[in-house]
Amino acid sequence: ETGVTQTPRHLVMGMTNKKSLKCEQHLGHNAMYWYKQSAKKPLELMFVYSLEERVENNSVPSRFSPECPNSSHLFLHLHTLQPEDSALYLCASGTASNTEAFFGQGTRLTVV
Amino acid sequence: GEDVEQSLFLSVREGDSSVINCTYTDSSSTYLYWYKQEPGAGLQLLTYIFSNMDMKQDQRLTVLLNKKDKHLSLRIADTQTGDSAIYFCAENPGAGSYQLTFGKGTKLSVIP
């Protein structure tokens, strides 16, 4: 039990679908992250929220839209994705004063 | 930009020591981390070291940092089959940065 829970664990979606990934943490952290893990590539930081404000957006295409309604929940809304967006999407949480990041188990996304 | 390099594969016999190496380019790195990823799971923080330290030991794990050469290593003593996983090195420059830069990961295979 990592304290960071992601749902769903697996998702298959068509290129015209709209879906959302959910992340929830109960560690009392005030920062949450979305990472993308593709085969044979380093983890890529996509978005960072600190105190529910987006603080970093690493040039991610607009077909990925994050939402952080409160410090415990983070969403990644997906629409009109491409097959190359198939990857493991990892959520993490941490605190602004401590750069440790605790990861969820990830959502394995396949775009068909 | 920052870059973190690791060898992709390492194979050791059960009971031997494993040494996983990592090099990084950002001389301002303040925090350096080792994460473990088991199949189908998210990343688990194993240990971390501050840049003002040379060594950190935690049970079977020993982290060595050579700041001059920008070289980080993780030694696992008495390697067990349960240690088979992908190990990621990551660095963070500190100073309020949320960015964790990861290597591509080293897949450790433990031979019984």
- Partners of A40 on chain B (C-beta within 8 Å) are 104
How far apart are alpha carbons B103 and A79 in whole angstroms?
A: 29
Please write the tens of the pLDDT for every residue from A47-105.
999 888 888 777 899 999 999 999 999 999 999 999 999 999 999 998 766 567 889 99
CB contacts < 8 Å between A and B, how many?
Answer: 54
Residues 6+ away with beta carbon under 8 Å from A70: A52
Query: Which carries the bigger pLDDT value, residue B99 or residue B19?
Result: B19
Confidence of residue B2 (pLDDT cuts 50, 70, 90): low
Query: Which carries the bigger pLDDT value, residue B77 or residue B104?
Result: B77
Environment class of A91 (CB within 10 Å of its CB; exposed 0-12, middle 13-18, buried 19+) = buried
Residue A70: what are its φ and ψ, rounded to 5°?
-160, 175
Q: Nearest-CA residue of chain B relative to A3?
A: B44
Please write the tens of the pLDDT for every residue from A3-37.
999 999 999 999 999 999 999 999 998 889 999 99
From the list A50, A101, A106, the residue facing B100 with the nearest CB is A101
- Partners of A101 on chain B (C-beta within 8 Å) are 45, 100
